Chain A
Amino acid sequence: MASKVAKMYDLKKKRFMKKFLFLLRHIHYTIMANKLLLLGDEAIALGALDAGLSGIYAYPGTPSTEITEYVQHSKTAKENNIHCTWSANEKTAMEAALGMSYAGKRAMVCMKHVGLNVAADPFINSAITGANGGLIVVSADDPSMHSSQNEQDSRFYGKFAMVPILEPSSQQEAYDMVHYGFDFSEKYQVPVLIRITTRMAHSRSGVVRSDCREQNTLHLPSDLRQFVLLPAIAKKRYNKLLETHRFFIEESENSPFNAYHDGPDKSLGILVAGIALNYLMENFPDRKIPYPLLKIGQYPMPRKLVEKLVGESREVLIVEDGYPMIEELIRGYIPGQKKIRGRFDGSIPRTGELNPNILAVALGLPDTQGLPVPDLMVGRPPQLCAGCPHIDSYKALNEVLEALPKGRVFSDIGCYTLGALKPYEAINSCVDMGASITMAKGAADAGFVPSVAVIGDSTFTHSGITGLLDAVNDKSPVTVIILDNATTAMTGGQDSAGTGRIEDICKGVGVEEAHIRVIRPLRKYHEENVTIIREELNYNGVSVIIPRRECIVTVDKRMREKFRQKQ
């Protein structure tokens, strides 16, 4: 007994110290007693650490990157040996997290929305295997495409996989939902999806922490065949998921994140999801909404609450950031003539991020306007940094291609995509990570030769290697330029999975050694580089050119760090 008490005391002391150290580091963010000022991303990371996380797995992607970086910079995470290094891509991240969950520990996997496309296979199937240790998948959507190729809505994936989805309306909820999500995941043995948007990820607000808890101990699933998705077992598991789904709906009806507020004016009912709640509230300075209101933060949709809202009000306005997913669903729920308003009928624009003014217009409240922007205004798009190695690579490539008809450079996603803009106008495609090599191969297969792929080192290890293998196996006449700046620059300079091993990887895949050429993208080697690129373009098979020079932003960061340490 005494030892138990002592242990409890120890534990409490440890927790207190943990909290204390954390607060010390973040004291400049301290509001009053114990509120921290955190980005939505940081709130999720801290929530995970406090909820007994054992590992975070991720590939960088705006606006999700700061979740993992927060854990990487956390002293608590280091002390407790929490896994937090970057994965090669979102699929490997998702699978590793599932493995950690299999072993009984709590795991989180984070990505930007398009990352969930890459991880879709393990994600959907993890709903069938189920989880053991708590498993949370965070997907960060980007309505208005601030820094993405599309504005796809991750909630559809959650619905598709039939897993519960949590969608915070504040940084505090983001924090709380992680604890709740891990509990939910362990209670029902199911992965839980947390869906955020850019605005939630990258906006700061006050967060109060709750108690910290220890990590799980290793423990395997009680049924060792749970994760064996042979058809006979998979059928059982799928039926189990369908059965459990009933409870997910019940949980949603009673969730602390879903709330029904009555209002005296029944001419309108408002259904509002996630961060849209804040834009709604902004329009009511006294924070009193005169209409019945259903706030959604947890899915599957709480059908009874929806029916109550619809039953109480003459019209329903549906407000959600992203695709009109709830709106589509509600239109199906509701019989008869009741008017549903939202993105489909033009009450709210069909695309793009919401804001307080969009809500004002939808509610028939006065819209507000500022001053006119003068006509002289011009855009200021991001550009390759002065001194960027990609500039020298594009200059050499452009010179070689000058003699040929345009339109033969298939590129990929990274800083180098900015080479599409003036003055380089060097590339003709950017679709999804890895698509450069495979598209160049397809075009070459069609007889379009020479055909060139331009891909960054991190994108290459993310999903370029398999495409290169296809090209080697088919002996496709493609020239693959792997821009090796030794980092994942676009998202802020994270480690790149293949640094120092790019040639070896190409050799291993089967590219002939004579056609793996490393060049130095510097002005003084321009002529030499032009010659090498020309030689390889003329080669009728797979060749790889690796322009290698570190990103100047990471060089600068490293130098400053070194200088600081010297002082």
Chain B
Amino acid sequence: MKKDIILAGVGGQGIISIASVIGYAALQEKMFLKQSEVHGMSQRGGDVMSNLRISHDEIASDLIPFGQADLIISVEPLESLRYLSYLSPTEGWLVTNITPFNNIPNYPDIEEVIAGINKIPRHIALDADKLAKEAGSAKSANIVILGAASPFLGLAFEKFQDAIRFIFRSKEESVIEKNLEALKLGRDFTDQNI
């Protein structure tokens, strides 16, 4: 099994946490992993993306070739469209939040952004911010999105639950529970809408 994943969002939205959870789950399955991050100026609201590749066979390139990503996971709607050139036109899934992070003066009309997302042949679009609040942790929109993407990652759902318990192990039990709930709400959304 091999999955090539583009993670997208705005600096500070927690895409590295998504990568850690998927990465931990994949390593528990004894998979190989390569993850390429763009560090640098991310704390100041610029766009950020990461290439995450997991595979049972050894991985060559740190970068995913264009048109070959199995999945784009985005915590922000406009950002979900930025890396479409990486998405496999025949098999790729786009999983994205629809709540915009509007920190630029020329942010396009959100209706048009959503329309752009709806044009993607295989996509899941959800209000992760709302679901995160429902889970009791407004900051966990990234984990909601991860939950929504989990059916496409080729790993059992429990693996992600275990990974969350591990990654957040230094946090209070209530934080872990809320994140597990966020993960589940995202997963339920996809299960009901696929």
Contacts and interface: CB of A to CB of B under 8 A. Distances in A.
B148 interface: no
A415 B35 CA distance: 27
A212 interface: no
Contacts of A376: 81, 108-109, 112-113, 116
A52 interface: no
B62 A378 contact: no
Nearest to B6: A370
B112 A147 contact: no
Given A203-B37, A282-B60, A31 B27 contact: yes
B70 to A, nearest CB: 11
A266 B103 CA distance: 55
Contacts of A62: 39-41
A562 to B, nearest CB: 16
Main SS class of interface, A = loop
Given A373-B81, A378-B108, A37 B61 contact: no
Interface stretch (A81-89, A99-107, A352-360): A352-360
A380 B24 contact: no
A202 interface: yes
B56 to A, nearest CB: 12
Nearest to A564: B170
Chain B, interface residues (CB within 8 Å), range: 35 or more
B43 A374 contact: no
Contacts of A204: 23, 33-37
Contacts of A492: 43
Contact of B43 (A32, A368, A371, A553): A553
Max chain A Cβ within 10 angstroms of own Cβ: one of B11, B32, B45, B167: B45
A204 B10 CA distance: 21
A246 B119 CA distance: 62
B46 interface: yes
6 contacts: A30-B27, A66-B39, A204-B37, A357-B66, A378-B78, A382-B41
Interface of B: 10-11, 23-24, 27, 30, 32-47, 51, 59-63, 65-69, 78-79, 81-82, 84-89, 92, 103-109, 112-113, 116, 119-120, 166-167
Given A31-B32, A371-B120, A380-B45, 19 more contacts: A28-B24, A203-B34, A203-B35, A204-B35, A356-B63, A367-B66, A370-B66, A370-B68, A370-B85, A370-B87, A370-B88, A370-B89, A370-B92, A373-B85, A376-B112, A379-B47, A380-B79, A385-B44, A492-B43
